[in-house]
C-alpha cells in the first residue's frame, strides 16, 4: 500500500491528468530521453517499443490510482521488480528512470510545479522501494538463498 498525504495524492493526480491526454507522446518522450541519457539501456527492450510504451503508461495509471485511493499496489510493484531482474535491470537504473520520468513529467504537464515534483518523488521512492525488494527476492530465490523480510506496508 502506498502511504501518501492527501495533498501529495492530489498533486500527483493534478499533474498526471495532462499526461493522460497525450499518453503516446509522453511515452515516446520518456523513452527517447531515457535512451539519450544511457544508450546502453536500449538493448534491454524489444526493437518495437509500442507495447512497452503502452505498458509503461498503463502501469503509471495503476500507480497513480493506487496513490489516490491508498490501493494495494505494493505487491504489484514487488512482482514488477522481480520481473525486471530477468531484463538485466540493476539497482542504479531505478534512480535513472526516476530522474528521466520527473524530467518527462515536467515537460509534459503544465500542472507540474514544485509541489507536484515533491509528490512524485515521494510516490516514486515508495515504488522503487517495493520494486527493489521484489528484485532482491527474485535474485535470492534464483541463488537459493533467502532475502530480508519485506518492509511494513
Is the pLDDT reported for residue 10 higher than 50? yes
Task: Give the least confident one: 32-46, 58-72, 124-138.
Answer: 58-72
64-80 tens-digit pLDDT: 988 776 555 788 899 99
Is the pLDDT reported for residue 25 higher than 60? yes
Burial (CB count within 10 angstroms: exposed 0-12, middle 13-18, buried 19+), residue 48: exposed
Task: Give the least confident one: 15-29, 63-77, 109-123.
Answer: 63-77
Residues ≥6 apart with Cβ < 8 Å to 120: 11, 12, 15, 101, 102, 105
- Confidence at residue 70, expressed as pLDDT on a 0 to 100 scale: 53
**Cα radius of gyration (the chain):** 15
Q: Where are the alpha helices (DSSP H) in the chain?
A: 6-21, 23-37, 50-69, 74-86, 91-108, 114-143
With cut-offs at 50, 70 and 90, classify the pLDDT of residue 6: confident
- Confidence at residue 74, expressed as pLDDT on a 0 to 100 scale: 81
With cut-offs at 50, 70 and 90, classify the pLDDT of residue 1: very low
- Confidence at residue 147, expressed as pLDDT on a 0 to 100 scale: 55
- Average pLDDT estimate for 97-121: 96
Amino acid at each position: 500500500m502506498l502511504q501518501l498525504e492527501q495533498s501529495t495524492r492530489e498533486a500527483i493526480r493534478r499533474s498526471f491528468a495532462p499526461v493522460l491526454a497525450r499518453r503516446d507522446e509522453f511515452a515516446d518522450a520518456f523513452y527517447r530521453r531515457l535512451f539519450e541519457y544511457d544508450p546502453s539501456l536500449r538493448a534491454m527492450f524489444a526493437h518495437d517499443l509500442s507495447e512497452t510504451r503502452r505498458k509503461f503508461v498503463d502501469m503509471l495509471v495503476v500507480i497513480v490510482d493506487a496513490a489516490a485511493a491508498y490501493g494495494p499496489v505494493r505487491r504489484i510493484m514487488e512482482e514488477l521488480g522481480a520481473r525486471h531482474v530477468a531484463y538485466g535491470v540493476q539497482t542504479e537504473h531505478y534512480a535513472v528512470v526516476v530522474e528521466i520520468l520527473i524530467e518527462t513529467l515536467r515537460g509534459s504537464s503544465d500542472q507540474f510545479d514544485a509541489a507536484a515534483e515533491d509528490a512524485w518523488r515521494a510516490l516514486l521512492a515508495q515504488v522503487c522501494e517495493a520494486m527493489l525488494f521484489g528484485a532482491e527476492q527474485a535474485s535470492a530465490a534464483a541463488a537459493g538463498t533467502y532475502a530480508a523480510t519485506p518492509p511494513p506496508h
